[in-house]
Amino acid sequence: MEGFDHLPVIATPTNPSYLQKLVEGEGYHKEVDCLSYQMPIPTSFPEMYHRIYERISQNKKIKLLEFSSKRKLKPYIIPVFRLVNECYAPLFGFVPMSEQEMKRFAGQYLPILDPDFVKLIVDQQNEVVAFVVSMPDMSKGIQKAKGRLFPFGFLQILASAKRTKQLDLLLGAVKPGYRGKGLTVLLGKSLMEAAARRGLETMDSHLILESNSRMRAECENVGGKIYKRYRVYEKMI
């Protein structure tokens, strides 16, 4: 729909631009659009964000977790997927993951995750109540490697992730009961500061339903602009 001049990012579907006319020519019509925002990585934050951050940081019932190694991150991967199942259940098109699928996804994604760009919030029982998972964009490396990891494709992909100026958001959620309490500010500020330290300049929001006014407002409040639009079609049979 929009954004065909940009490379797709990991975990985001894409199709050639001509497919739209072919699909619509077969009688399919729009059911819903999903949007991707491109946002600048801020070098400073409004005073309101600082106040919310300080207030939330002093809450003894929750704790922000940041990671320096994949070993320390590994025990939290399955709990994150379980929270995804809980939080994403009402979302359009979401299919819950089984425990077996969670383990498989954990094995696939852990090797390529950068611990610096995974932020979690846990409660007093050390249960994950909010998280954000992102990674440096590696699209150009995947393109150069033609999608092949071996024999040398993985080197091109890793090099691309080191050179990129874009951070790709993959997943994020806040457990019901903890929403509207500023946890997204705690996660977002920590993530953006990590991105700025690494010299990243922009962030891809991943897919956001056009009806998700809360998430869209958060993106737009920090200067985000829609730069890709994905359409889901339907047809009465």
Distances (CA, A) of 180 to 177, 183, 186: 9, 8, 12
Could you give the CA distance from residue 207 to residue 210 in angstroms, rounded to a whole number?
A: 9
pLDDT digits (tens, 9 = 90+) for 139-192: 999 888 988 878 888 889 889 989 999 999 999 999 999 998 999 999 999 999
**237 has pLDDT over 90:** no
Query: Is 8 domain-assigned?
Result: no
**137 has pLDDT over 70:** yes
What residues make up the domain containing 121? 19-234
Tally of domains in the chain: 1
Give the pLDDT of residue 178. Answer: 95
Percent of the chain topping pLDDT 70: 100
Could you give the CA distance from residue 116 to residue 70 in angstroms, rounded to a whole number?
A: 10
The pair phi, psi for residue 81, each rounded to 5°, is: -65, -35
Q: pLDDT confidence of 10, banded at 50, 70, 90?
A: confident
Could you give the CA distance from residue 161 to residue 168 in angstroms, rounded to a whole number?
A: 10
Kindly report the average pLDDT of the chain as a whole number: 92
Could you give the CA distance from residue 115 to residue 72 in angstroms, rounded to a whole number?
A: 9
Give the pLDDT of residue 151. Answer: 85
User: Which CATH number fits the domain that encloses residue 153?
Assistant: 3.40.630.30
Give the pLDDT of residue 147. Answer: 81
Query: Is 12 domain-assigned?
Result: no
Residue 229 φ/ψ region, left for φ over 0, alpha for ψ in the -120 to 50 degree band, beta for the rest: beta
Query: Is 1 domain-assigned?
Result: no
Q: CB within 8 A of 146, min separation 6: which ones?
A: 153
Give the pLDDT of residue 1. Answer: 65
**Considering only CA atoms, which of 64, 173, 157, 174 is closest in space to residue 114?**
157
Query: Is 5 domain-assigned?
Result: no
Percent of the chain topping pLDDT 90: 72
Q: pLDDT confidence of 222, banded at 50, 70, 90?
A: confident
Query: Is 38 domain-assigned?
Result: yes
Query: Is 184 domain-assigned?
Result: yes
Place of tokens 């491109």: 38
Query: Is 100 domain-assigned?
Result: yes
Query: Is 229 domain-assigned?
Result: yes
Could you give the CA distance from residue 201 to residue 179 in angstroms, rounded to a whole number?
A: 28
